[in-house]
Structure formats: C-alpha cells, structure tokens
Structure 1
Amino acid sequence: MDSFTLNKAAGAVLMVLILTMGVGIVSDIIFHPTIPGQPGYEIVVEAAPDATSTVEAEPDAVPISELLLAASASEGANVAKKCTACHTFDEGGANKVGPALWDIVGRKPGGHEGFRYSSAMATYGEENPEWTYESLNNFLEAPKKYINGTSMGFAGLRRPEERADMIAYLREQSGAPKPLPAE
C-alpha cells in the first residue's frame, strides 16, 4: 500500500470524526435540552391513618324502604334488560339459564318449580322463607358475595337507586304486588 492511499484512509476517518462532532455541536445549539430539577416522576402514596387520628364515619346507607318510595318501575324495566339473557319476567315464562322471575317478591328463594338451583341457593331458601325487599337489594348488589356459592354469574348492580328501580319493576311483575315496606 502506498502512502497516498494510507493518507486518504486516515483523512476519511478524521473527516467522519470531525463531522460527527460538528453535528453534535450544531444540534446542541439548535435544540436546547431542558434538564429537570428532579429527575423522574413523583409517586404520591397516601399514608395510612394512624391509630391516634380520628376517622370520620361513613354516612349510613339509605335503607331500601326509602329508596323504593322514589323508585321508578319503568326505569327498572330498562335495568331489567341486562337480565333478559338469563331470565324471563312474564307470567308463566319459561326458565332459561336462570329461573323465571314473575312474582319473585315474596317467593321462597330457590323454590321455583322446574328450575334446578345451586346448592348454595337451595340452602339459602331453607333458611329464608321469602325474598324480601331487603334481601333482594342485598342479592342484586353482589350476588356471589351475598350468597356464597351461587351459580348466578352476574356482577351486580352497584348503584342503590338502580337496585331500587329494579326491585320496583320486579314488584310490579306479579298478579298481586306485595305492599311496600313500612319505614
């Protein structure tokens, strides 16, 4: 290899290094990097209250008897649309995945003829003579929590007003609706 070729190769390497440095310097001039005072994100974790602090009591939940006074059965019919995949509401309606819900208020839990209930629901029915407004409210809030082991896969209705509307609708699905509970 002659010296001219060696000089060309060394010059090319030096030119690449100078261009790389130059691009870095020019980009620092054009783009001003902002360096944060404190790097990263601050994660705020709420401290657990200590035993000496006073904890405010949660307001008591409104009883279902009061909610039923303002409940709307027509709104409950809209809520009941969530249930129509598994239940019927008509008089003499057929059982589906779940039992027919005609005249459910006041009926024995786990006692609808022709439907095979889970053992948990059958046990609940042996301990409770009828579906009351309060028991329906508790069941509709979280079926699997209220009756542990029930085969009902519905997650529940979280809003108390929605449950009251649903219970008002269920109450109307009867030949002789049960009277509303006294306060």
Structure 2
Amino acid sequence: MKLHCLILAASMMIPAGVAFADGDPVAGAKVFKQCMACHTATEAKNKVGPTLQGIVGRPVASVADYKYSPAMTKFGEGKVWSEEELAAYLPKPKDLVPGTKMAFAGLKKPEDIANIIAYLKDPAAGGN
C-alpha cells in the first residue's frame, strides 16, 4: 500500500514539472502586466520592487542596489529563484515569506504561473 501511495505521489509531481517547460512566454507577458507597476523584466531597473530581469537562476534577494525586507533576506539565505521556487512563491508570496513587503496577493491559476515563469526566463520571447 505504501508503494502505491509513493508511486501516486510521484506521478502527481511530474505534470507540475512539465508545466514549467510548457509555459507560454507570450501569455506570460500578458500576466506580467499585473506586476509592471512594481517590477521590470526587460531592464535592470528597480521600481517599488526589484528588477526581475534574469531572475530565474539568480540567488534570492541578490539585486545589489535594492533594499529587501528582513523577511525576504532571511528567506533567501542559500536559495536561488529556480522555476520550482518561483512556482511555490507566486501563488501566495506572503504565505511563503511572512513579512515580505510585496503587497501582491498572488497568482491563482497554475497556467498563469507556468506562463509567467516562461516569460521571466526569456522576456524577449514574450514579444516585448
């Protein structure tokens, strides 16, 4: 029985990984419009939030000229913004990082998360 549960749990994790690879950067660019008041993805310019240019693969809380909240700095110790880490953060940022100064409530749809990650990986592919 334990083996069946383990196999089922493992099989449920596979589609989540596939979703990142299947994200649509053009659709992600549209979703990113919700983020544009506070972030940029196509230039190394901070706004209310740090630039997200090159975020996928970048250490968390590492933009040198941006003042992160103590909560984000602590959360980021030893972490990198991988696709999986972004997928965990984007649905409910304040749940993953209590005390973050990011006011955004989060993205609800898994396809929006996959699409925005695809866009953040390659903003030029989003048509910007």
Q: In 1, distance between residues paired with 2:47 and 2:104? A: 14
Identity rate of aligned residues, in percent? 42
Paired residue for 1:87, among 9, 30, 39? 39
Task: Give 1 or 2: higher helix fraction.
Answer: 2
TM-score, structure 1 as length reference = 0.58
Q: Structure 1, residues 85-122: CA drift from partner, whole Å, max 9, x if none? A: 00011233x21110011000011111101100000110
Instruction: Say if 1:62 and 1:141 are closer, same or farther in 2 by CA, change over 3 A.
Output: farther
**Which runs of no fewer than 5 residues in structure 2 stay unpaired?**
1-11
Alignment of 1:64 with 2:64, yes or no, is no
* RMSD across aligned positions (CA): 2.1
Alignment of 1:98 with 2:49, yes or no, is yes
- The amino acid that maps onto 1:106 is G
**Which runs of no fewer than 5 residues in structure 1 stay unpaired?**
1-59, 175-183
- The amino acid that maps onto 1:144 is K
- Name which one, 1 or 2, has greater alpha-carbon Rg: 1
Secondary structure (helix, strand or coil) at the match of 2:48 reads: coil
Q: CA deviation at 1:68?
A: 1.8
Q: What is aligned with 2:122?
A: 172
Q: Structure 1 stretches (4+) deviating beyond 2 angstroms? A: 60-64
Bigger Cα displacement from structure 2, 118-127 vs 79-88: 118-127
In the comparison of the two structures, how many residue pairs are matched? 116
Q: CA deviation at 1:163?
A: 0.2
Highest RCO, 1 vs 2 (Cα 8 Å, sep ≥ 6) = 2
